[in-house]
Amino acid sequence: MKAFKLLGLGVIAASFLSFTPLNKKIIVLDAGHGGDDFGTQRENVYEKDIALKVAQEIEKLNQTNDTYEIILTRNTDENVPLSSRTEKINQLNPVAVISLHVNSSAKPESVRSGHEIYTQSTEESKKLAKAISSKLGDCPIEEKNLHILRNSKSPAVLVELGFMNSTKDRTYLSSKEGQKEVAEKFNKILNEL
């Protein structure tokens, strides 16, 4: 009998610990690539690492946030299939999905730098892109047919944080200071959603 009481108490305690208040918004951060999918790379700097570190930094800044909960599609260096990511997103039904990536161009040293944002065709996605652009700095915003955007039922954007083949962007995005600064800008964006 004592075992059943202890089991019952354990189940109740676990349900309280995993409970997200109904009024708490969910925001999904999708750190692009991972595992054996490196994304773009230059001089031993990998897109998958930058995307994950920025996502983790944003999550860390929001651990005690009472308004929303950050959920990552991956929180380790693993290759999570795109279909699994969008399945998780659609189960969670978040208020926003932000997929983080790093761009690249064909030239060895890009003449372009800075971020770009891709959206779904929805007004909510475009509104989210404008909010991000206002904090990160004005940038190109373009509708694009990408898996995460196409298959996410929630408002979603894909943010290219900079260009891997721009020495300036790569140096900034691969530094702890740069990652923290980018995360702090996203934190301001999320607090306005």
What's the pLDDT band for 41 if we cut at 50, 70, 90? very high
Name the residue among 77, 61, 122 with its Cα closest to residue 96.
Answer: 122
pTM over 0.85: yes
Residues 126-145: pLDDT tens digits? 999 999 999 999 999 999 99
| Whole-number average pLDDT of the chain | 91
- Are 104 and 157 in contact by the 8 Å Cβ rule? The answer is no
Q: Does the pLDDT at position 177 exceed 60?
A: yes
Residue 7 binned pLDDT confidence (cut-offs 50, 70, 90): very low
Give the confidence band of 24 by pLDDT, cuts at 50, 70, 90: confident
Name 116's bridge partners.
Answer: 160
pLDDT, residue 193, reads 83
Contact 88, 31 (CB under 8 A): no
Single out the residue of 176, 179, 139 nearest to residue 158, CA to CA: 139
Whether the predicted pLDDT of 18 surpasses 50: no
Which pLDDT tens digit goes with each residue over 42-95? Answer: 999 999 999 999 999 999 999 988 999 999 999 999 999 999 999 999 999 999
Phi-psi region of 159 (alpha: psi -120 to 50; beta: other; left: phi over 0): beta
Give mean pLDDT, residues 28-35. Answer: 98
pLDDT over threshold 80, residue 12? no
pLDDT, average across residues 178-189: 96
Distance (Å, rounded) from C-alpha 8 to C-alpha 15?
11
Instruction: In whole angstroms, give the CA distance from residue 8 to residue 176.
Output: 45
pLDDT score of 13 more than 90: no
Task: Name the pLDDT band for 22 (thresholds 50, 70, 90).
Answer: low
The answer to whether the CB of 51 falls within 8 A of the CB of 32 is yes
How many angstroms separate the CA atoms of 17 and 15, rounded? Answer: 5
